[in-house]
Amino acid sequence: METQEISFKESIDRMFDRAAATLDLPPGLAEHIKICNSVYQIRFFVKFRDGYKTFVGWRAVHSDHRLPVKGGIRYALSVTQDDVEALAALMSYKCAIVDVPFGGSKGGLSIYPRDYTEAELERITRRFAQELIEKGYISPSLNVPAPDMGTGPREMAWIADTYRMLYPNDINAVACVTGKPVTQGGIRGRVEATGRGVQYALREFFRHPEDVARAGLQGSLEGKRVVVQGIGNVGYHTAKFLAEEDGARIVGIIERDGAVLSEKGLPVDRVSDHKWEHGGIKGMSGVTFVEDGCSVLEADCDILIPAALEGQITMENAPRIRASLIAEAANGPITFEADNYLRERGKVILPDIYLNAGGVTVSYFEWIKNLSHIRFGRLDRRHEEMRGRQIIETIETMVGRKVPDHLRSQLTQGADEFDLVRSGLDDTMRQAYNEIRDIFLSRDNVPDLRTAAYVVAIEKIARAYQELGLY
Ligand code: NAD
């Protein structure tokens, strides 16, 4: 869809301005928070069997009020410097909202990964990483990338290894990037973290009946009819968890080549497998296929979850959006104008800078794990189990009866890394929602959850700058 009214970056800046205008900040401070501090553009070539190919990539640092700065690396043919700056800005706001002590950054490489073999992609990634490392745009203490569209654990492992080869004496080398495979210093629960965070955020939203009613809905996630755009990392995990664990019905999935629909609920795993095997979702049996995938954004459903890319809901299609709750799992899926339009018509939007922060939250846990050189839970898991057994034995002795087996096994289970990551993520998403909600409910000049989320971010970043004494 090519109907974005203003650029992605302009859209984000306007959302920022709308929120900053409700605050009384010292002159010039809001402007400084908004601008991108630095961006490095690199053109490099890689020699292939049939000749040389030149690539262009960027790494932007939006705000370094906290270090390291953090943000994914995107591989997409369409990525531009403007996009990378916009995404870096979202990272600064996101980290502030979920109290992750990082500044915001983002990287992009203009490439269509499917055009290359795995070996070619590895050479391209290592070359790109080397250029960024040499300029301080990848470093455990300064700038820590993670996966984004088109990249995943495999690319992160190549980047970590490239860094380690350049700095073999850096004992924290592995912390130069997050989202690595668990066997390469990654953390359990990172791959699905963004989708898991979306699930936890939606659960928290549905714990507040007044908020649910504001969105024209009632009850819990159980039975809610959901449409998801993009069945990649974020969309797949979000859809899977909502369907399998919360009883939501995924009635539509939109991909590049069309959309599939099923009123009784789509088999999320099968849709994802089909996409991986065939490069798209066309041709699946037992579902209805719609050629014009974008039209399904307008389908009748309770929750619309854009989880693919930016600029999908614009003034062109906003008037036809029927979902009353839109959960922005992707970055920037709604343009500034469409956002205003939808709010004025009573739609409730859970904004990207909050909703998809699960990825960076668990990346933060991974970075801490790397710096501490020990798996979470390794020291205390068995100790917790022993304490559980002691408590049960004490209770049994005191009351003269046996604790039932299912309770015994629950109480004697020590937390492993998975449990701790989920617990930390759940707590983060709940707390952040309530902080945003409090601002929304308590300030007359804050009209929606997005503006409230920006207010939370701006206030925290402004405080950091003011405390540093730079203003
Ligand atoms: P991904 O590459 O794994 O998946 C993206 C999916 O969207 C793919 O299946 C792709 O085919 C599909 N897609 C692309 N263009 C489309 C179109 N025009 N219509 C329909 N589907 C389309 O990427 P991802 O990591 O899941 O990221 C998705 C979004 O979430 C991006 O906006 C990204 O910035 C954001 N995000 C990702 C993470 C993360 O941890 N991966 C964290 C925060 C935010």
pLDDT digits (tens, 9 = 90+) for 291-339: 999 999 999 999 999 999 999 999 999 999 999 999 999 999 999 999 9
Are 75 and 149 within 8 A, CB to CB? yes
Spatial strand order of the sheet with 303-306 comes to 288-290, 258-261, 249-255, 225-229, 303-306, 325-327, 348-350
What are residue 325's DSSP bridge partners?
Answer: 303, 348
* Ligand 1 near 194 CB (within 6 A): yes
Look at residue 230 and tell me whether its pLDDT is greater than 90: yes
Look at residue 1 and tell me whether its pLDDT is greater than 60: no
Q: Ligand 1 centre and the CA of 39: distance in Å?
A: 23
pLDDT at 469: 79
Rounded to whole angstroms, how far apart are CA atoms 158 and 246? 36
pLDDT digits (tens, 9 = 90+) for 156-203: 999 999 999 999 999 999 999 999 999 999 999 999 999 999 999 999
Nearest to 205 by CA among 361, 444, 434: 434
Q: Ligand 1 centre and the CA of 150: distance in Å?
A: 8
* Ligand 1 near 150 CB (within 6 A): yes
Look at residue 124 and tell me whether its pLDDT is greater than 80: yes
Residue 3, both tokens: 């109907």
pLDDT at 74: 97
Look at residue 471 and tell me whether its pLDDT is greater than 60: no
pLDDT at 270: 98
Look at residue 280 and tell me whether its pLDDT is greater than 90: yes
In Å, how far from its chain's centre is CA 423? 17
Q: Ligand 1 centre and the CA of 396: distance in Å?
A: 52
User: Where do the domains of the chain lie?
Assistant: 40-186
* Ligand 1 near 151 CB (within 6 A): no
**Could you give the C-alpha distances from 327 to 356, 408, 424, 450, in angstroms and in order?**
9, 39, 21, 11
pLDDT at 115: 94
Look at residue 2 and tell me whether its pLDDT is greater than 90: no
The residues annotated with a catalytic role in the active site are: 106
Percent of the chain predicted with pLDDT > 90: 96
- Angle at Cα 426 formed by Cα 412 and Cα 249, nearest 5°? 105
Q: Ligand 1 centre and the CA of 330: distance in Å?
A: 6
- Angle at Cα 256 formed by Cα 255 and Cα 259, nearest 5°? 40
Mean pLDDT of the chain: 96
Nearest to 425 by CA among 152, 186, 105, 198: 198
pLDDT digits (tens, 9 = 90+) for 345-369: 999 999 999 999 999 999 999 999 9
Rounded to whole angstroms, how far apart are CA atoms 435 and 24? 19
Prior bond to 68 cis, omega within 30?
A: yes
Which residue has the CA at smallest separation from atom 40 of ligand 1?
359
Instruction: Looking at the CA of residue 230, tell me the nearest atom of ligand 1.
Output: 7
Look at residue 218 and tell me whether its pLDDT is greater than 60: yes
Coil, helix or strand at residue 222: coil
pLDDT digits (tens, 9 = 90+) for 408-439: 998 999 999 999 999 999 999 999 999 999 99
* Ligand 1 near 259 CB (within 6 A): no
Q: Which CATH class is domain 40-186?
A: alpha beta
pLDDT at 470: 64
